[in-house]
Amino acid sequence: AKWVYFFGKDRTEGDGKNKNLLGGKGAGLAEMTSIGIPVPPGFTITTEACIEFYKNDKKYPEGLWDQAKAALATLEEAMGKKFGDIENPLLVSVRSGARVSMPGMMDTILNLGLTDETVKGLEKSSGNARFAYDSYRRFIQMFSDVVLGIPHHKFEHILSDMKKAKNVDEDTKLSPEDMKDLAAKYKDLVSRELGTPFPQDPMLQLEYAVNAVFDSWNNQRAKTYRKINKMSDDWGTAVNVQSMVFGNMGDDCGTGVAFTRDPSTGEKVFFGEYLVNAQGEDVVAGIRTPEPIARLEKDMPESFKQLEEVYQKLEKHYKDVQDIEFTIEKGVLYMLQTRTGKRTAKAAVKIAYDMFAEGLIDKKTAVLRVEPNQIDQLLHPMIDTSITYDILAKGLPASPGAAVGKAVFCAEDAEAAAVVGEAVILVRAETSPEDIGGMHAAKGILTATGGMTSHAAVVARGMGKCCVAGCGAIKIDEKAKKFSVGSKTINEGDIITINGSTGEVINGAAKLIEPELSGEFAEILNWADEFRTLGVRANADTPADARIARDFGSEGIGLCRTEHMFFDGDRIDAVREMILAENEDGRRRALKKIKPYQKEDFIGLFEAMDGLPVTVRLLDPPLHEFIPHTDEEVKRVADGSGLSVEQLKAKAVELHEFNPMLGHRGCRLGVTYPEVYEMQVYAIMEAACELKKAGKDVQPEIMIPLVGHVKELKELEEMTRAVASEVIAAAGVELEYLVGTMIELPRAALTADEVAECAEFFSFGTNDLTQTTLGLSRDDSGKFLPLYIEKGIYKEDPFVSIDESGVGQLVEMGVQKGRSTRPGLKTGICGEHGGDPASIFFCQKAGLNYVSCSPFRVPVARLAAAHAAL
Ligand code: PEP
Ligand code: MG
């Protein structure tokens, strides 16, 4: 087998596209060499060799070492120097390089091949003693750290002692004699630490170094990095052995790193840093402070010109931003690395837009260059991460963005604060629908319990408000209005910051950066629309949310949760009266009071969505959620309803359920209290007819939630159609409307062919469908689910990213069976998954017609849908 690939001006064996085999760095070196960019020659030992090494109990596969020796001989020939030569020695660097870069995670060794003898040769051939011994002491330090396990700082102590003794602040000011002295001291340290001298056989050094790089694939930080970035442990790393070029031979030498465009803004400017008379690790290790790249133009104009030519050639070749490493040796430029530059969301958008405008990439590529997951950053205020903060605790990143404010502990306090214009963070054990006003008033929401689809999380995302949920480390004392984390206590009024993108809770005020929706961003989204086939709608309950969604490009409303309308202002009293009523007559009386409010709400919503479909879901939550809780509320409702406090409390007990999520909710309310749904249908259709008369284009879609059996739906569908026909006839207008259902229970998916006989559309309510399929409470699982994810039992939180192999089957089955009895069945998704890129990819595969998500996720969904279609 071939384990080793040579790269050099006259012969490059590796395929520069094959990152899997050569690693990212190795592929880049091969590619650069083959397009005529100056790269010091060398060879790459493949990732396959690394994989074999691990399979073979850490022994090299057969032929590897012979091939490496042969490549070394070729290298000697190309360089006109010999490895281990005491006159003019060849030195090499040994670097790791996995298929995806893992910055700083694995090991690098420079100046390999130096010994007490060869260093004299280096001195002779370069005529530069300082350089020779500077290289030697660097090599001893790096090799000892990486291969022999003697930590860096022990060497750095010696260096700083030396600098102190010589009274200089920079190591470039140390004399040749000092460098020689340093190398000797370093070797003494090694002897003391190991009990054996520093290895003096270059071939052995090379073997040790290759082993060390292979070993570093499985060091702890590399493993952790792979886990965080979801990379496989089986890829292995390649090893690049490359002849050294020296940035430390004097003031016409240097080394640096640069990006072909600014990676944080995307601006088309060459961006980077460099150090004169230095080697690469000085930049990385922060031993010396590098200069901005613009300085290079002044210091070494010729080399800068070469560098400019090279970076432009590289960008044209790769058609993307490159992150490059270079060294200048005596005025001659060499490239040591090129790879795709990592960038912020803002930069990604600008770069994609500009590169299309420059004709470098086509529109499709431009759209694919922007990561849907990343652009969330552009839609919410973000924390300035260049500053360090006092992090109190970490919860779930439930709704992105960041907020700074005073801690308050109940909704009323949040609302009161908002009235006087104060920024607050609402801190609750968990939120309930009653907190909605306070949540709206607060800048952000922090809860101690609850998962990614808990009430707080869903509502906050809907509002585009940041939220950290399920932060179990905070202990809330609601009465005393404070919370504690460990030994720290945050009282009411103390300033905290929450980061809904990371889940962090910060003590004090962090610095925020405001979002901006650039013209380029809007344009990229328009391009995305040209490619996507999935529709994108929004989950919105109010005209204001609907308008935001529309501005973000929503093509309609996929879910209006009508229960939110029940909590506003005075109507909650009428709603409570309805719930507490003894019989149907009592309920009808109360419903009459609610209906005008409902109708008004629908008018607002339909107007905001003129010309687009609006899916209105009939009442869904268990009734007890509307019951008054505090003594104060109980008394107020008692006064208003003519019931005694005792009677009211008794009613609350009666409505109590042990498992309300599986209880008296959804269409079960419609089946048992048809007058409630009837009122809602009247309100919807009357609103629609009025607007239709006024010349608006209204497209109502009435949706029945939590159906398990077609007979539930049949009953309610018939009622809905009867009411709708009556209202339409009375108004004397022509109005099209749809009646459909949500698929939120496994039984509905399993019998979707039957259900579809009564439904013109399905909307998969994957929040409940996940909860009921996995038997995992969406409100409580936050307590233990993180451990499940950590352990890899579920790869992702199934409430965030759809569980394809489980819930996904039910969705696919639902679509197929539904269309088997109703070929034109329209299908969508309105669970939180509708805004998650990975789930959107799944929806495309499953053949859904549209996704629906919170207004602030609409741009993400548009982009993800385009990626899914491409
Ligand atoms: C769902 O269950 O997925 C859904 C959208 O409904 P809700 O979140 O209101 O239960
Ligand atoms: Mg639901």
Q: Is 718 a residue whose pLDDT tops 90?
A: yes
Q: Is 775 a residue whose pLDDT tops 80?
A: yes
Distance (angstroms) between ligand 1 centre and the Cα of 602 equals 20
Within-domain flag for 89: no
Mean pLDDT, residues 518-527: 92
Q: Is 689 a catalytic residue?
A: no
pLDDT classification of 26: cutoffs 50, 70, 90: very high
Ligand with an atom nearest the CA of residue 802: 1
Say yes or no: 405 and 499 in one domain.
Answer: yes
Within-domain flag for 28: no
pLDDT of residue 546: 95
Substitution site in 768, 777, 811, 848 for ligand 1 pocket (most atoms within 8 Å of beta carbon) = 768
Comparing CA positions, the residue from 326, 88, 116, 104 lying closest to residue 205 is 116
Q: Is 517 a residue whose pLDDT tops 70?
A: no
Listed in sequence order, the DSSP H helices in 504-583 are: 519-531, 543-551, 571-580
CATH of the domain at 462: 3.50.30.10
Residue ending a domain, choose from 465, 486, 513: 513
Say yes or no: 616 and 709 in one domain.
Answer: yes
pLDDT of residue 288: 67
CATH of the domain at 696: 3.20.20.60
Say yes or no: 663 and 692 in one domain.
Answer: yes
Q: Is 455 a catalytic residue?
A: yes
Q: Is the CB of 852 under 6 A from ligand 1?
A: no
Give 735: exposed, middle or buried? Use CB within 10 Å, 0-12, 13-18, 19+: middle
Share of the chain above pLDDT 90, in %: 72
Comparing CA positions, the residue from 814, 830, 314 lying closest to residue 557 is 830
Q: Is the CB of 744 under 6 A from ligand 1?
A: yes
pLDDT classification of 152: cutoffs 50, 70, 90: confident
Number of domains in the chain: 3
Within-domain flag for 704: yes
CA distances to 71, 410, 426, 429, 491 from 479, rounded to whole Å, are: 74, 10, 15, 12, 11
pLDDT of residue 283: 60
Ligand with an atom nearest the CA of residue 455: 1
Within-domain flag for 822: yes
Between 456 and 595, name the one with better pLDDT: 595
Q: Atom of ligand 1 at shortest distance to CA of 539?
A: 5
Q: Is 858 a residue whose pLDDT tops 90?
A: yes
Q: Nearest residue CA, atom 10 of ligand 1?
A: 768
Give 294: exposed, middle or buried? Use CB within 10 Å, 0-12, 13-18, 19+: middle
Within-domain flag for 463: yes
Say yes or no: 410 and 543 in one domain.
Answer: no
Q: Is 642 a residue whose pLDDT tops 90?
A: no
Q: Is 649 a residue whose pLDDT tops 70?
A: yes
Say yes or no: 663 and 748 in one domain.
Answer: yes
Mean pLDDT, residues 183-212: 95
Size (the chain), residues: 870
DSSP designation for 127: T
ipTM greater than cut 0.95: yes
Substitution site in 617, 667, 744, 833 for ligand 1 pocket (most atoms within 8 Å of beta carbon) = 744
Q: Is 347 a residue whose pLDDT tops 80?
A: yes
Ligand with an atom nearest the CA of residue 764: 1
Substitution site in 742, 839, 843, 853 for ligand 1 pocket (most atoms within 8 Å of beta carbon) = 742
Average of per-residue pLDDT values in the chain: 92
Distance (angstroms) between ligand 1 centre and the Cα of 672 equals 21
Measured over the CA atoms of residue 206, residue 210, residue 213 and residue 215, the dihedral's sign is negative
Within-domain flag for 148: no
Q: Is the CB of 768 under 6 A from ligand 1?
A: yes
pLDDT of residue 636: 78
Q: Nearest residue CA, atom 4 of ligand 1?
A: 765
| 42-45 β-sheet, strand order | 11-12, 4-8, 42-45, 237-243, 92-98, 108-112
Say yes or no: 539 and 615 in one domain.
Answer: yes
Helical axes 47-55 vs 202-216, angle rounded to 10°:
80
Share of the chain above pLDDT 70, in %: 98
Within-domain flag for 848: yes
Tokens of 384: 């300035």
Q: Is the CB of 778 under 6 A from ligand 1?
A: no
268-326 residue pLDDT tens: 999 888 889 888 776 655 556 678 898 999 999 999 999 999 999 999 999 999 999 99
Strand pairing of 850-853 and 535-539? parallel
Measure the CA–CA gap between 819 and 414, rounded to whole angstroms: 48
Between 372 and 790, name the one with better pLDDT: 372
C-alpha 523, offset from chain centre: 22
84-139 residue pLDDT tens: 999 999 999 999 999 987 766 677 899 999 999 999 999 999 999 999 999 999 99
Comparing CA positions, the residue from 478, 502, 500, 482 lying closest to residue 492 is 482
Q: Using a CB cutoff of 5 Å, list residues around ligand 2, an ion.
A: 744, 765, 768
722-743 residue pLDDT tens: 999 999 999 999 999 999 999 9
Say yes or no: 433 and 326 in one domain.
Answer: no
Say yes or no: 297 and 421 in one domain.
Answer: no
Between 433 and 504, name the one with better pLDDT: 504
Q: Is 228 a residue whose pLDDT tops 90?
A: no
Within-domain flag for 96: no
pLDDT of residue 540: 95
Say yes or no: 413 and 538 in one domain.
Answer: no
Q: Is the CB of 374 under 6 A from ligand 1?
A: no
Distance (angstroms) between ligand 1 centre and the Cα of 768 equals 6
Q: Is 338 a residue whose pLDDT tops 80?
A: yes
Candidates 758, 830, 843, 853; catalytic one: 830
Distance (angstroms) between ligand 1 centre and the Cα of 764 equals 9
Q: Atom of ligand 1 at shortest distance to CA of 766?
A: 3
Do the Cβ atoms of 273 and 291 come closer than 8 Å? yes
Strand, coil or helix: what is 191? helix
Give the CA radius of gyration of the chain.
33
Say yes or no: 679 and 759 in one domain.
Answer: yes
| 475-477 β-sheet, strand order | 475-477, 482-485, 488-491
Angle (CA) 137 142 147, round 5° = 130
Structural domain of residue 663, as residue ranges? Answer: 532-622+657-869
567-580 residue pLDDT tens: 776 788 888 888 88
Ligand with an atom nearest the CA of residue 811: 1
Say yes or no: 480 and 573 in one domain.
Answer: no
Strand pairing of 488-491 and 482-485? antiparallel
pLDDT of residue 292: 87
Ligand with an atom nearest the CA of residue 769: 1
Candidates 455, 564, 624, 833; catalytic one: 455
Q: Nearest residue CA, atom 1 of ligand 1?
A: 765
Query: Where are the strands (E) in 409-511, listed by range?
Result: 424-428, 444-447, 466-469, 475-477, 482-485, 488-491, 495-499, 504-507
Q: Nearest residue CA, atom 9 of ligand 1?
A: 561
Q: Nearest residue CA, atom 8 of ligand 1?
A: 767
Substitution site in 561, 665, 706, 807 for ligand 1 pocket (most atoms within 8 Å of beta carbon) = 561
CB atoms within 10 A of CB 642: 9
Say yes or no: 666 and 787 in one domain.
Answer: yes
CATH of the domain at 251: 3.30.470.20
